[in-house]
Structure 1
Amino acid sequence: MWNVDAFVGRRLIMMWVWVMYLGQCTKDILGWSRPASPPVVKVEMFYNSEYSMPSTHAMSGTAIPFSLFLLTYGRWEYPFTLGFSLALSWCILVCVSRIYMGMHSILDVIAGFLYSVLILLFFLPALDLVDGFNLTCRFAPLVIISLHLGLGLFSFTLDTWSTSRGDTAQILGTGAGVALASHINHLLGLLPDPTPDQLPLFMPPLGAGLVGLAVLRLFLGVLVLMATRALMKAVTMPMVCRVFGIPSGDVRKARQHMEVELPYRYIVYGTVGFNVLFLVPFLLSHIGLS
């Protein structure tokens, strides 16, 4: 977003949101349990309360690298073999790691891979249409906010609490924030996309000055996002609990209520997503680091 290509970055976020949302919903509809332990040795326990089929790690580990490859090849000048090999290696490593960590069966991983490929085939051709709507339609902010919020509100009726509902709200909030920021950027003329006659793009020679500038942008941007997240968490949790009459003393317990967890995650990470694509580039441009 800040150092390479905001155009690719915002479209990559869109693919990530669609893949993860559909994967999480499918998990909760099917309700398949994690592999039994024993015989499986579970190295990672944090997501043990989630369902298993399909593997959303395998889905994101397929969608993100191959979307990145398909969005950049022809736009940036690099060998096809290099891009495809990196995407395939990334995909294989993530998929195999889920079996190694004891969190998924081979069937979960294969289903996640194939499901992700199917979603890519359907949604990648629609990126131009959706991105154009987000940038230019006068009603885009209203549609973006209400659609992402509605998807979170009407998708989950869990029997028992798990991390999937909050994670999905976090993903939807981030996607909404980035999409809204892209609309604002278009209105204000910030982060303009290269024109067709400027393509393909070439990697400039790597020197100490360029690397130092990139690291400085990254450092300052991450500081802004950390401050945004801390501030919004401190403000949003008590506010949401007060609105719904739920005690906010035990934050972990309060977040297990759907009426708290969904707006809390949506607002916090919606703001973070917005600042990724709007506030940070805006600040960098004003201090001469754009």
Structure 2
Amino acid sequence: MSIEATEAKNESDLATSESSKSSKIPNNGKSPRDAEDLVTEEHFWQSLFKGIYRDKKALVGLVMVFLFILIALLAPWIVPHDPYAVDMEKVLIAPNSTYVIGTDFLGRDILSRIIYGARISLVIGLVPTLISLAIGTFLGMVSGYFGGKIDYLIMRLADVCMAFPSLLLAMVVMYTLGASLFNIFIALSIVNWGSTSRIVRAQTLSIKEKEFVEAARSIGVGKFKILWRHIFPNCIPSLIVLFTLSVPEAIMSEASLSFLGVGAQPPTPSWGLMISRGKEFLFSSPWVAITPGVAIFLVVIAFNFIGDGLRDALDPYTKH
């Protein structure tokens, strides 16, 4: 066989081999490695939802949170009365068919104020928690990956924030900035990032020694790209659990600040403020203070149920 014929045969075999490899790649244009990552991601979310579905408490908590969110969104259309309308002729009316939970010391419908208060509690529970998680996650990853003086500085700042009781530190911030809902966002975001940064730092220290991170570093991948593409996705399970357990803590902190008079201000229908203003009538008209307390209890226990279910679903040591 001539040299030209041999080269032609080799080129034909190479083309056939390439076409057979390309036929094995999925139609969406992703490589087998991408397809494997997609399967892993889908398996993660499937395992997560199955874990919640099997845990009855987590499922009940999820339904309760969904109902509270639905009530908060539909508040203007479902309230039976104006939550801000003052009527001194209807002061402290006991629960009846017209006022299901009764009225307060200014004649305002308590049920309507609780429905509107769900908006404030859920927003203050979600927004500061997301902000503190974002700050704590970024600083924790930077601290764990770079180490050295950066690690020392960030961890000492976290130690300062965690050295004070969170409610006391939030009160100091509120007294400094003034009592308003916006300042509550700032206060709760400042006081809660330290614990998140420590958790993320510990995971970053473990993940950065893994083979896939070493491989990415060896081929010249940038440090911040490694943090975003390789380390952050492996911290997501812990962050999800931490989020569901931090939301009720933020709601309780807002209620405590409002109860102490440095949170939401009248006539804002905050649950904590309603308890604070209604404690004077605890023995004569107990529904004024007890009903917003029950609302806080239900929201907090619902998020705790979800957090416990997610922790059990994502913990490899508790999986059956």
Q: TM-score, normalised by structure 2?
A: 0.25
**Bigger helix share:** 2
How does the TM-score come out when normalised to structure 1?
0.27
Highest Rg: 1 or 2?
2
